[in-house]
Chains A and B, each alone.
Chain A
Amino acid sequence: MQPAVDSKQSEVKQSSKFWDVFKRYNLLILILLFVALAASLSPKFLTVQNFLNLLQQSSVIGIVSIGMTFVIIVAGIDLGVGSVVAFAGMIAAVLLAGGHGLVISIGVALLAGMALGSINGFLTTKAKVPAFIVTLAMMVAARGLALLVTDGRPVFNLPAAFNWLGAGFIGPFPVSGLLWLLITLIAVLVLTYTTFGRSLYAIGGNAESARLSGIRVERNIIIVFAISGMLSALAGVVLASWLTVGQPTAAKGLELDAIAAVVLGGTNLFGGSGGVLGTFGGVWLMAIITNIFNLLGLSSYYQMIFMGLIIVAALILNQFVANRD
């Protein structure tokens, strides 16, 4: 510590001001730190093309993480997202391969995801089974459904028009990335400016007092899981479109990446706080880390170790900042 120059009081004020700023923007500061580090390590990093690639690569996990944020805000968890991604992708691919139109195929896939999400919400609220268990069961069951659609075969030769959603561009921007940005924006508005969105924080903070204050807790929780299911399904459609193939084994382990992104973004796993912008930052942080590893040509064993260390370090920082009053 430096010796105090001013009176003690002003020093406290100064430092608390610094912490206020840091608390608010710690994720952004962390991201900028990594960007600076990455830029200094590789001349290929700070290029427009690289960031457009990242925008496209991250859109699937990004869209899934938005739904996950909603679920975690109400103190739930959704382990089924990866399987729902695969299932919805298969549904869309099979319908498309069967000659159905884009709208029908994608629509049915989204409805299917919404239905699976609603089942999650329904079982957690009405049957009072913990979300962890319900969605773990969904993870297994939806994977089974995804395999059942074609007996485990991938579906390829999808129509070229479908490819536009996941791999197409509007000007220099990837369509899938723009879709992710759009949904992020909508989600931010919903969480900030709607009664429904604000009620989610109350539910996550204390479900009982939310109920007593007239919030329809159960209904809103079911809606939240339905949103998560539908966004996972959308991510599944984007993934199938990006890879031009429906694969029943796609997106394994995606749920853990999504949870990591949400938590990195400062959303509390116990519910009641956090937001979609933070998650957006969390997804970027993870994408930047993997990207720079690849650009540097770091062996993938080290990549795994560093990724783990960085996630833990970022969380410790989050905790440290949050606990500083």
Chain B
Amino acid sequence: MFNKKLIILLMVTLLAMTLVAGCSGDKAPEGDVADNGAEEQLVIGFSQVTLDSPFYVALMEAAEAKADEMGAKLVYVDAQNDIAKQNKDVQDLITRGIDILLLNAVNPSGVAPAIKAAEEAGIPVIAVDRPAQGEVATFVGRDNKAMGKLAGELAVDLLGGVGAAEGKVIEIQGAAGGQVMMDRRDGFHEPLEQEAGVEIVQSPYADYVRANAVTAFQDLLQANPDVNLVYAHNDDMALGAYQVLEQNDMLGDVKIIGVDGLMEAIQKMETGNYHGTVLNDPGYLGEVAVETALGVLDGEEYPEFVDAGTSLITPDNAADYINPDLVFASKQ
């Protein structure tokens, strides 16, 4: 009796949940693209590090759209941050038959088996977003050190300008030991090291996660109530700091800089209390990756590193980037 009721209840709730999930997703079904049959379509394989972050989802979708536009087909696999799965995935792609492989490596040296397998099958490999060691045609990515440097230069500006900058800085760092974290740190430190009056008082790690950043920054703000600027390795964490300052009625007293060009952060710039972010447009990166892939297949030569570029977004130019439909701002 009770069981019957329970089962019905479960069914109904599950149905309701499916509806909720269904209404909000607006993903087009996997393309049954009409074959024009005139020529064989080129197939680009894309092994993606993970699809549980909006950045990589945006990268993926832009690459797909670009491939469509250029008459190629893109098939992708999701390594779910697991290096073993990534090597298996690539093997599956090769078995399935691809002309070129875009590879966003879980880690640079762990993908050696995948790269070797591609090489044996005569398939060129392009590293995307994260570098990969071994025989790759080129690496399409961004210079995170340059991004950190842009943030550092802005910090010097906000603290009084070159040669006169003064103040205490808290740096909220990403994931300990990661390449991106080290680059965004080192690049940021470069301009600051020239300034005798600037001191980085604390550098907690918050794993790029907002909740961790809020907790850490709440504690650190008590320990350093006289902090002048907070720089976070991504906007999500910087928004965590923003929120803590808001709660303490200190917005405006402390300058905030993030990285990534998260739309939520750019919208906050209108209040004048979020002072800068550095563009890290995943969509454009995806487009460049696909263009490069088709170029390589056409026999074009590419340098070792294809830079998808970056730029600084501040309250002065924020209006140009605002587009509520995007998660990350796109290159203008």
**Of A151-159, A186-194, A276-284, A311-319, which binds chain B?**
A151-159
Asked if A137 is at the interface (CB within 8 A of a chain B CB), the reply is no
Q: Complex Cα distance A157/B267, Å?
A: 9
Name the B residues within 8 Å of A244 (CB-CB): 243
If A115-B10, A243-B243 touch, whether A94 touches B54 (CB-CB below 8 Å) is no
Asked if B218 is at the interface (CB within 8 A of a chain A CB), the reply is yes
CB distance from A173 to the nearest CB of B (A): 13
Asked if B51 is at the interface (CB within 8 A of a chain A CB), the reply is yes
Asked if A273 is at the interface (CB within 8 A of a chain B CB), the reply is no
- Contact partner of B243 (CB less than 8 A), chosen from A118, A167, A239, A249, is A167
Q: Is the beta-carbon distance between A149 and B54 smaller than 8 angstroms?
A: no
Q: Is the beta-carbon distance between A249 and B10 smaller than 8 angstroms?
A: no
Q: Is the beta-carbon distance between A150 and B24 smaller than 8 angstroms?
A: yes
Q: Is the beta-carbon distance between A115 and B52 smaller than 8 angstroms?
A: no
Name the A residues within 8 Å of B220 (CB-CB): 294, 297
Q: Is the beta-carbon distance between B204 and A294 smaller than 8 angstroms?
A: yes
- Contact partner of A143 (CB less than 8 A), chosen from B52, B205, B215, B218, is B52
Name the A residues within 8 Å of B176 (CB-CB): 300-301
Asked if B14 is at the interface (CB within 8 A of a chain A CB), the reply is yes
Q: Complex Cα distance A119/B13, Å?
A: 11
Name the B residues within 8 Å of A126 (CB-CB): 3
Per-residue CB proximity of B52-67 to A under 8 Å, as 1/0?
A: 1110110000000000
Chain B interface size, under 10 / 10 to 19 / 20 to 34 / 35 or more: 35 or more
CB distance from A80 to the nearest CB of B (A): 15
Q: Is the beta-carbon distance between B219 and A295 smaller than 8 angstroms?
A: yes
Q: Is the beta-carbon distance between B51 and A98 smaller than 8 angstroms?
A: no
Q: Is the beta-carbon distance between B20 and A149 smaller than 8 angstroms?
A: yes
Asked if B31 is at the interface (CB within 8 A of a chain A CB), the reply is no
Asked if B27 is at the interface (CB within 8 A of a chain A CB), the reply is yes
Q: Is the beta-carbon distance between B54 and A300 smaller than 8 angstroms?
A: no
Q: Is the beta-carbon distance between A115 and B17 smaller than 8 angstroms?
A: yes
Q: Is the beta-carbon distance between A94 and B57 smaller than 8 angstroms?
A: no
Q: Complex Cα distance A222/B218, Å?
A: 39
Chain A interface size, under 10 / 10 to 19 / 20 to 34 / 35 or more: 35 or more
Q: Complex Cα distance A49/B218, Å?
A: 10
Name the A residues within 8 Å of B332 (CB-CB): none
Closest residue of A by beta carbon distance from B58: A153
Name the A residues within 8 Å of B34 (CB-CB): none
Name the B residues within 8 Å of A94 (CB-CB): 20, 24
Q: Complex Cα distance A167/B57, Å?
A: 30
Asked if B84 is at the interface (CB within 8 A of a chain A CB), the reply is no
Per-residue CB proximity of B247-274 to A under 8 Å, as 1/0?
A: 1000000000000000110010000000
Q: Is the beta-carbon distance between B327 and A91 smaller than 8 angstroms?
A: no
Closest residue of A by beta carbon distance from B225: A44
Name the A residues within 8 Å of B26 (CB-CB): 151
Q: Is the beta-carbon distance between B222 and A153 smaller than 8 angstroms?
A: no
Q: Complex Cα distance A50/B219, Å?
A: 8
Name the A residues within 8 Å of B13 (CB-CB): 111-112, 114-115, 118
CB distance from B177 to the nearest CB of A (A): 9
Q: Complex Cα distance A114/B21, Å?
A: 16
Name the B residues within 8 Å of A157 (CB-CB): 264, 267, 324
Name the B residues within 8 Å of A91 (CB-CB): 17, 20
Name the A residues within 8 Å of B27 (CB-CB): 151
Name the B residues within 8 Å of A252 (CB-CB): 209
Asked if B16 is at the interface (CB within 8 A of a chain A CB), the reply is yes
CB distance from A142 to the nearest CB of B (A): 10
Asked if A180 is at the interface (CB within 8 A of a chain B CB), the reply is no
Asked if A108 is at the interface (CB within 8 A of a chain B CB), the reply is yes
Name the A residues within 8 Å of B52 (CB-CB): 143, 147, 152, 248-249
CB distance from B76 to the nearest CB of A (A): 13
- Contact partner of B211 (CB less than 8 A), chosen from A53, A118, A239, A297, is A239
Name the A residues within 8 Å of B21 (CB-CB): 145, 148-149
> Residue among B25, B210, B263 with the most chain A CB within 10 A?
B210
Q: Complex Cα distance A145/B17, Å?
A: 9
Q: Complex Cα distance A290/B215, Å?
A: 9
Name the A residues within 8 Å of B38 (CB-CB): none
Name the B residues within 8 Å of A162 (CB-CB): none
Name the B residues within 8 Å of A14 (CB-CB): none
Per-residue CB proximity of B310-325 to A under 8 Å, as 1/0?
A: 0000000000000010
CB distance from A11 to the nearest CB of B (A): 46
Asked if A31 is at the interface (CB within 8 A of a chain B CB), the reply is no
Asked if A201 is at the interface (CB within 8 A of a chain B CB), the reply is no
Beyond known contacts A44-B223, A239-B211: 11 more, CB 8 A cutoff? A108-B16, A115-B17, A149-B24, A149-B25, A151-B27, A154-B327, A242-B214, A244-B243, A291-B219, A294-B219, A294-B220
Residues of B within 8 A of A (CB): 2-3, 6, 9-10, 13-14, 16-17, 20-21, 23-27, 51-54, 56-57, 176, 201-202, 204-205, 209-211, 214-216, 218-220, 222-223, 239-240, 243, 247, 263-264, 267, 324, 327
22 A-B contacts, Cβ less than 8 Å apart?
Answer: A53-B219, A57-B214, A94-B20, A108-B20, A118-B6, A118-B9, A122-B6, A150-B24, A151-B27, A153-B54, A154-B264, A156-B264, A167-B247, A242-B211, A245-B239, A249-B52, A249-B209, A252-B209, A294-B216, A294-B220, A295-B219, A297-B223
4 nearest CB pairs, A to B? A294-B219, A115-B13, A152-B57, A300-B205
